[in-house]
């Protein structure tokens, strides 16, 4: 277990033990955070996010005060700012995955995540478009899988992703398959959407998730694209 994970999942009692010495330390907030982060072998962003996403921290006003925060809301605002803006720089991918694994059992925090994810993923995707950095792409894929597999993504999040007409990033992470595996939206519903690309639907068919009658029913829709029609016809079995 890393120090980040330890702090993120620490009990109230453990947090008090970790930060006991900070009560007598003075200085500006940035100085307090830098000093504490160094002592724990973390950077300031890791310290703020590990503490900020720990479900117990809201009840420990003395620790917040010792680190220079007026209250939990002030810490949460700084935590959110860092989490949305950082692209696997100050927060490593394993830190991000640990956050999802921690908050998935907290309904209130999962609610907050619905807002944070939109801005965070937009920033990551913009960086990928600008740099085509393979390392960032692989970390992005891991993060997207965790968002669905850990139950962080709710139906509105998945709907918004499926409704995107520019679905290059969705295809990049095989997101349609991940959504169906997570059972967020029924596969039949996804199959009949015009915003889901033919190549995405092909993968669902190849996996055996789409029965023949649904393929035929989709083919009967005259409004589908020629590309999709050709793809579907490859899978139509002769009627007996």
The candidate with the shortest Cα–Cα distance to 86, out of 128, 121, 34, 36, is 121
Task: Among 17-21, 80-84, 208-212, name the most confident range.
Answer: 80-84
Q: What is the pLDDT of residues 18-28, one digit of tens each?
A: 887 555 456 78
Q: What is the pLDDT of residues 92-143, one digit of tens each?
A: 999 999 999 999 989 999 999 999 999 999 999 999 999 989 999 999 999 9
Distance CA 207, CA 214 (A): 14
Distance CA 48, CA 25 (A): 17
158 within 8 A of 189, measured Cβ to Cβ: no
Cα–Cα distances (Å) from 198 to 90, 98, 144, 236, in that order, read 38, 35, 21, 15
Decide: residue 154, CB within 10 A, 0-12 exposed, 13-18 middle, 19+ buried: middle
33: alpha, beta or left? (left if phi > 0; alpha if psi -120 to 50) = alpha
Who contacts 148 (Cβ-Cβ below 8 Å, separation ≥6)? 158, 178, 179, 181, 182, 184
Q: What percent of the chain has pLDDT over 70?
A: 96
Distance CA 204, CA 31 (A): 53
Tokens at 41, concatenated: 């072998």
What confidence tier does 83 reach under pLDDT thresholds 50, 70, 90?
A: very high
Distance CA 51, CA 69 (A): 12
């Amino acid at each position: 277990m890393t120090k980040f994970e330890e702090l993120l999942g620490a009990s109230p009692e453990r947090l008090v033990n970790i930060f006991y010495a900070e009560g007598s330390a003075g200085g500006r907030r940035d100085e307090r955070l830098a000093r504490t982060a160094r002592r724990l072998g973390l950077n300031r962003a890791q310290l703020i996010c590990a503490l900020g996403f720990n479900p117990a921290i809201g009840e420990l006003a003395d620790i917040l005060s010792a680190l220079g925060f007026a209250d939990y809301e002030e810490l949460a605002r700084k935590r959110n700012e860092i989490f949305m803006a950082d692209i696997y720089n100050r927060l490593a991918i394993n830190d991000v995955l640990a956050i999802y694994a921690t908050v998935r059992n907290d309904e209130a925090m999962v609610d907050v995540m619905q807002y944070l994810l939109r801005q965070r993923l937009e920033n990551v995707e913009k960086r990928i478009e600008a740099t085509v950095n393979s390392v960032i792409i692989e970390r992005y894929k891991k993060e997207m899988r965790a968002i669905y597999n850990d139950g962080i993504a709710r139906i509105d999040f998945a709907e918004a992703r499926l409704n995107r007409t520019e679905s290059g990033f969705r295809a990049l992470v095989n997101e349609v398959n991940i959504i169906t595996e997570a059972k967020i939206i029924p596969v039949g519903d996804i199959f009949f959407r015009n915003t889901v690309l033919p190549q995405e639907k092909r993968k669902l068919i190849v996996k055996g998730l789409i029965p023949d009658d649904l393929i035929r029913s989709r083919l009967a829709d005259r409004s589908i694209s020629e590309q999709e029609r050709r793809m579907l016809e490859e899978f139509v079995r002769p009627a007996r």
